[in-house]
Amino acid sequence: MYNFTVTERQVGNVTVLDIHGKLRGCGGSGTLRYAIDRPQEEGHNQILLNLAKVSDIDSSCLGILVASHFDVTKKGGQLKIVHLSENLQELMTLTKLLTVFDVYDNEAEALESFKSPPVDLEEYRNTLLSKTSHASYPSAWGALGMGVRFRAELMLGRSRLERSFSVKELLSSGRVTLNGIHGEFVEAMFEPVQYAVQ
């Protein structure tokens, strides 16, 4: 039994998913994943998640949001979020997922953003880095064969070893592919990487 409901509406070329309740127990092929995948099956790949009525989110649903974001982006679409509660904003700040998603405070602004082409992820990442004290990080954050470990909240119930992988390929988008797991991943999904200051 799910603790949330999803209502779909179309605003121009954007599918808005209004989510109500507590996002918990999203594992596998749950309602949230289906709700995000369904519009894409009909050719709608501009998706806005309205989280105004979401009071809480667990790690399984957070993982579904991250995976769905990369799936939609990989297919040339966009997945954005509007109306994060203070609680969710704090959680996404702690997990550094605010660097992954485009998040808006009001729906009109969010809908307007879909009229622009998707943000170049490498350029966006470089902008974020220039605003932090970590400007000494290398522009390509990974290295071939480098070990990385997914954040615990993204792989609930898995040991440190089960969350550990090595970098297979560095992509020009700033993402990496890993040995032993499918997909493209960004730095924010991993535990902090320590860089040697030169």
* pLDDT at position 165 over 50: yes
CATH 3.30.750.24 maps onto the chain at: 4-113
* Beta strands at 4-11 and 102-104: parallel, antiparallel or unpaired: unpaired
pTM of the model: 0.60
Which one is predicted more confidently, 132 or 107?
107
Share of the chain above pLDDT 90, in %: 20
Could you give the CA distance from residue 51 to residue 65 in angstroms, rounded to a whole number? 12
Q: Mean pLDDT in the chain?
A: 79
Residue 155 pairs with which residues in a beta bridge?
none
- Answer whether CATH 3.50.50.60 is correct for domain 4-113: no
Token pair for 123:
């350029």
CA–CA dist 169, 181 (Å, integer): 12
Burial of 126 (0-12, 13-18, 19+ CB in 10 A): middle
